[in-house]
């Protein structure tokens, strides 16, 4: 699933192409997950923002077009609508370009809501501060984590302590911070390390254009390169880059997580 670096990469590519563009026509797959795309016809896009893993286009009619990419979703601007059965929605713009939303597995979703009214999108309404915003602090992370007894990765992936983090970057950050994925609580110093590690791995992922393990492509159709820089995720059985101990893989809360038994003591 695209995480913050992947979604932000797409946002940065699309924002200048969509700014001040008027939507002349819109079509969608008949599923109610995608039909809200058609409610945008006639509106002008004022800007493209992001909150966590959500892309949010501000419209001049007081609405916001909200897109979640799910596991296999992608957005691109093309000269015409492609003949592609996996296109779930498209918008024709006033510069003769077409914004395409493609989603093979249909786990993504589209919503059109009054600006700031997210009660119909519970995961967006309840998420914590964006991981790359100034609202995300070490103390805030510590306080959020201590309010739950769930395992730390499960808390992170819930988006409530911090928004934008998924399995890849949580695994990388826990390895950097020296925190075992089975842990249910952390000290304030450990939370401070985790806060710094999350920011580091997310910024690295963004600098590398995101992580492509299989499906992710940016708005130009190109894969990211951050998969070549991963230190822990997907490296089970290989030596830890810090201590040379073989990395291990375990299943916690229905998720498979990789860690170093030496650097991340339980």
Q: Are 72 and 95 in contact (CB under 8 A)?
A: no
Helices (H), the chain: 4-18, 122-125, 138-146, 152-157, 167-177, 188-207
Q: Catalytic annotation on 2?
A: yes
Compute the chain's Rg from CA coordinates.
19
Q: How many residues does the chain have?
A: 266
What does each C-alpha distance from 30 to 27, 158, 167 come to in angstroms? 9, 29, 31
Token pair 């959500």 is found at 54
Residue 209's CB is within 10 A of a number of other CB atoms, namely: 21
| Annotated catalytic residue, options 22, 223, 255, 261 | 255
Work out the burial of residue 243: count CB atoms within 10 Å of its CB; fewer than 13 is exposed, 13-18 middle, 19 or more buried: exposed
Work out the burial of residue 265: count CB atoms within 10 Å of its CB; fewer than 13 is exposed, 13-18 middle, 19 or more buried: exposed
| Annotated catalytic residue, options 50, 53, 88, 193 | 53
Here the tokens at position 50 are: 């992001």
Q: Catalytic annotation on 64?
A: no
| Annotated catalytic residue, options 2, 5, 36, 181 | 2
Q: Which of 251, 261, 209, 260 is nearest to 232 (CA)?
A: 260
Q: Catalytic annotation on 149?
A: no
Q: Are 96 and 28 in contact (CB under 8 A)?
A: no
Q: Catalytic annotation on 33?
A: no
Q: Annotated catalytic sites, by residue?
A: 2-3, 53, 255
């Amino acid at each position: 699933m695209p995480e913050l670096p992947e979604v932000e990469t797409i946002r940065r590519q699309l924002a200048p192409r969509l700014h001040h563009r008027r939507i002349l026509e819109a079509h969608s797959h008949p599923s109610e997950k995608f039909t809200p795309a058609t409610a945008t016809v006639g509106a002008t896009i004022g800007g493209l923002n992001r909150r966590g893993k959500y892309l949010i286009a501000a419209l001049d009619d007081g609405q916001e077009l909200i897109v979640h990419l799910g596991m296999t979703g992608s957005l691109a601007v093309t000269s015409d609508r492609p003949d592609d059965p996996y296109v779930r929605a498209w918008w024709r713009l006033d510069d003769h370009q077409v914004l395409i939303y493609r989603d093979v597995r249909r786990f993504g979703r589209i919503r059109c809501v009054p600006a700031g009214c997210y009660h119909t999108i519970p995961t967006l309404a309840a998420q914590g501060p964006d991981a790359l915003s100034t609202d995300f602090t070490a103390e805030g992370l510590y306080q959020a984590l201590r309010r739950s007894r769930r395992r730390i990765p499960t808390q992170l992936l819930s988006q409530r302590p911090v928004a934008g983090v998924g399995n890849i970057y949580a695994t990388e950050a826990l390895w950097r911070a020296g925190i075992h994925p089975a842990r249910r609580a952390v000290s304030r110093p450990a939370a401070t390390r985790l806060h710094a590690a999350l920011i580091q791995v997310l910024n690295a992922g963004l600098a590398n254009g995101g992580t492509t393990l299989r499906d992710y492509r940016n708005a130009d159709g190109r894969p990211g390169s951050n998969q070549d820089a991963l230190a822990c995720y997907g490296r089970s059985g290989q030596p830890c880059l810090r201590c040379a101990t073989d990395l291990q893989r375990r299943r916690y809360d229905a998720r498979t997580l990789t860690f170093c038994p030496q650097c991340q003591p339980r």
